[in-house]
Amino acid sequence: MVLREIKTIPTIHNMVYLIDVLKAMGCGKCSFEEIRQTVVNSRRRIELRERAGFSLGERYLGSKERELSYMWNQSAKNLRELMQLELVKERPLKYSLPTGERASAETARRERYELTEEGLRLVRLAESNLDIALDKFLDLMYKLHLRLRAFITATQKNEVLLFPEMTMEMNKEVSIEPKDYVKHICKAAGELLKDTIGSELNIQEKTSYLEGYVLARLRSSHIGKSKLAGVVIKSVNRGIKNLLLGELKLDIDIPTFEVLTNWCKQFRICNFARGLPDMPGLTLYSTANVETNETLVVKRRTKEIVLYSVIEDLPRFFRRFKTRGSPWASIYPIRAAVCFKNRIDDRVFDEIISDIVNNRVDIDYKLALDAATWAAPSRSTKPVLVNRRGKINIISIYEWKGG
């Protein structure tokens, strides 16, 4: 199948929607309303099961699901992506619920869509082996989306991409006038770039760029003095990303960058984390070798490759992140650090934790897990799920003989 290349990136953040819509259509649920309900149910599952931190909650989701317009636009975007991938037959789409005549709205809801032969094959593949189906999706999207292709090439070439980020804590003692505050933050950001990226960048030039970028964003909005610091920090971090994406020759904006990082994480070819030891910012790194011949070949770092390294790393990072005066630590910074050190995705880490809990591997220390939450991780963080115990948020390691 030869796909036409496109430069745009859809705003679909989760591959679950695409897989679930295909499966539903494979079961005969082909009207727009049935597809919308499928996307609604996918959203519910993502919010209630796959989010470690923020969740919209049962009551909120229940109230929204009764609205016919809920997830209408998202459903249309998913169908559009499947049409571009030539998995669903091309036909016109309405991106919002018609608000005119009742008959017009009913007609739009009853519109039916058909899978192509390739779409039917992918449905059967998804039912039998979801991992292989996701690799097929990756292959199709790699051929279709030029910017995804460039992004994968950059992550494969560089292996680790660090996007330094300023924080409020770095500048909490600063009390100066707004214009001077912007200069101060941008100068500090330039030093951060020099410290983390090295001397290849012209720091003075980049600092001037950041200052202009932040001031332009401030001029385009009305911000009170109380919110100024937060907006400046957020703006300078976006400016840093723009700078470094330009250095990588990636012609993408920040929303597209976020979509692509989410896609690559879900395809398990890269991972990302914030706050890794000695890495102040967003770290994006490859977790697989992607060979780009006629068909993509993905070689991931598997559990078998890293098992004993992870077992040794767990107690060391536990000691590093353990809460003072408590035998417990949040599992999320530990998972992030272990995954980065071993260049693996979150799922490999979770599988190893599950093997330890089920006594499938031997360890020379004791490990305990609990669902208690102290501080919610970022919205993009998926929970650690072990057996059927629900979301695991904290970990304790004891009787450890290591150094």
Q: Token pair for residue 75? A: 């459903």
Does any domain span residue 27? yes
How far lies 374's CA from each of 235, 274, 395, in Å?
A: 29, 18, 12
Q: Which of 13, 142, 141 is nearest to 87 (CA)?
A: 141
Is the same domain home to 292 and 167? yes
Does any domain span residue 403? no
Does any domain span residue 19? yes
Of 258, 275, 298, which residue constitutes the final position of a domain? Answer: 298
Is the same domain home to 25 and 99? yes
CATH number, residue 38: 1.10.10
Is the same domain home to 294 and 337? no
Is the same domain home to 240 and 277? yes
Is the same domain home to 264 and 348? no
Beta carbons of 127 and 24 less than 8 angstroms apart:
no
Is the same domain home to 189 and 124? no
Query: Hey, what amino acid is at 355?
Result: D
Does any domain span residue 2? no
What pLDDT was estimated at residue 140? 94
Does any domain span residue 167? yes
What pLDDT was estimated at residue 277? 86
Does any domain span residue 4? no
Beta carbons of 315 and 402 less than 8 angstroms apart:
yes
Is the same domain home to 293 and 311? no
What pLDDT was estimated at residue 199? 53
Is the same domain home to 279 and 160? yes
What pLDDT was estimated at residue 256? 93
Does any domain span residue 138? no
> Number of structural domains, the chain?
3
Cβ neighbours, 10 Å, residue 215: 17
What pLDDT was estimated at residue 374? 65
What pLDDT was estimated at residue 399? 78
Cβ partners under 8 Å of residue 128, min gap 6: none
Burial annotation 310-324 (CB, 10 A radius, 16+ → b, else e): bbebbbbbbeebbee
Does any domain span residue 50? yes
Is the same domain home to 149 and 289? yes
pLDDT one digit per residue (tens) for the chain, 403 residues: 567 778 888 888 889 999 999 999 999 999 999 999 999 999 888 887 777 665 666 666 666 777 888 999 999 999 999 999 999 999 999 999 887 677 788 899 999 999 999 999 999 999 999 999 999 999 999 999 999 999 999 999 988 999 999 887 776 655 556 667 888 888 888 888 887 766 566 888 888 889 898 888 888 777 766 777 888 889 999 999 999 999 889 989 999 999 999 999 999 999 999 889 888 899 999 999 998 877 789 999 999 999 999 999 999 999 999 888 889 999 999 999 999 999 999 999 999 999 998 889 999 999 999 887 766 566 667 788 786 666 888 899 987 665 4
Is the same domain home to 212 and 326? no
Q: What residues make up the domain containing 254?
A: 145-298
Separation between Cα atoms, residue 302 and residue 297, nearest integer Å: 15
What pLDDT was estimated at residue 318? 95
Is the same domain home to 324 and 382? yes
Is the same domain home to 288 and 342? no
